[in-house]
Amino acid sequence: MSTLTELRRRAAELLPELAAGAGQRELARELPQGEIRALAAAGLFTFRIPASYGGGGSSVAEVFDFLISLAAADSNIAQAVRPSFGRVEHLLTASEQERERWFPRFLAGDVFGNAGWEIGGASGEVRTRIDRDGVVNGSKYYSTGALYADWVSASAVDDSGERVFFTLPRDREGLELLDDFDGIGQRLTASGTTRLNGVKVRQEEIAERPGNGARSPVSAFMQLYLASVLAGIARGALTDAVGFTRERARPIQHSSAARSVEDPYVRHAVGEISARAYAAESAVLRAAAAIDRAWGGDLEPDLLTDAAVEVAQAQFVAAESALKAAELLFDVGGGSAVSRRHNLDRHWRNARTVANHNPRAWKAAVVGAYHLTGAQPPLNGLF
């Protein structure tokens, strides 16, 4: 059993180690296999597992406080383990049988990946098929964290056109994981292609799905997770801005300052980066509190809608803040700041990549429609 206090202590010990090597890992494209295993072994995926099952029993706000710090240390790792945290959240809405099966796997230090989105068809379309014998054939383009995982979750369409969700051990015959993700940022998230070549799915590996079309707190959690990664990136940009200014930057020739830390424009840049990071973090934690209120209100529909709206606002603020903070980072130094060896551009590239998951313009438009006409946010998993 891991209490919330114990989990926080382990996190405080481990996160500085992750941060120390983050820039070099990305520069050399070294997949953080060991680092993710260390997170799992420390039980840091179990924040939200109820104490009665041996987890930390944390609130949503408490786990997001940790996730922002994790993303500030290494946003690639934070993104890569999103499926593990999402799976726990889903299990909180699942049956006792599902919880008893999967919570022990998290407590044992297992890692979960996801093989979700496909390309080539309409947005959100699933063309992977599962036949009546449970045999799956298809390909998934985005497979966040799958290369690090013990278990990989995916979905397919059955003969009646219904989506079937299942979780497989990563060594299942016919399951092929490729390290071919080529995004400009978040390069170490192991989000490559998953091929399912005649993969056999057993009945007990198929997940229970209520299928009632109601709004889910899991969707809000997963969307806020993206915002927390962005908030962490903004904080990471601040850390690098301060470090670069203190250790490497020189004031421009006509500056009135003898050192960059005394230059008023550099101070302004660092101050604005700090404010952007503060805004992003504050927005995420406020939206997390809205999800907590929905849980405390027995997932009453109006509270879930409120949470969806708050999360959408937090995503907008976090994306804008992270992108601006990462851009301002270059204002603390001269030409040397763009040197590849410093890898300062990773913050903007990573923020840009996360922000592209769900366009922030749609987040603002949905929030605007809600305030103007009372229109409900979509029920498509993105809100």
In this prediction the pTM is 0.96
pLDDT at residue number 80? 98
pLDDT at residue number 211? 55
Query: How far apart are alpha carbons 206 and 274 in whole angstroms?
Result: 45
How do strand 112-115 and strand 151-157 relate by DSSP bridges? parallel
- Angle at Cα 39 formed by Cα 144 and Cα 347, nearest 5°? 55
pLDDT at residue number 257? 60
**pLDDT tens-place string over residues 133-186:** 999 999 999 899 999 999 999 999 999 999 999 999 999 999 999 999 999 999
pLDDT at residue number 245? 86
| Residue 297 backbone phi and psi in degrees, to 5 | -100, 25
| Strands (E) located in the chain | 112-115, 129-130, 135-140, 151-157, 163-169, 175-177, 194-200
pLDDT at residue number 255? 64
pLDDT at residue number 259? 75
Average pLDDT, the chain: 93
Q: Which domains does the chain have, with CATH numbers?
A: 4-110 (1.10.540.10), 115-205 (2.40.110.10), 217-373 (1.20.140.10)
**pLDDT tens-place string over residues 234-253:** 999 999 999 988 987 676 67
pLDDT at residue number 248? 77
pLDDT at residue number 381? 84
The residue type at 40: A
| Residue ranges of the chain with per-residue pLDDT less than 70 | 210-212, 249, 251-252, 255, 257-258, 260
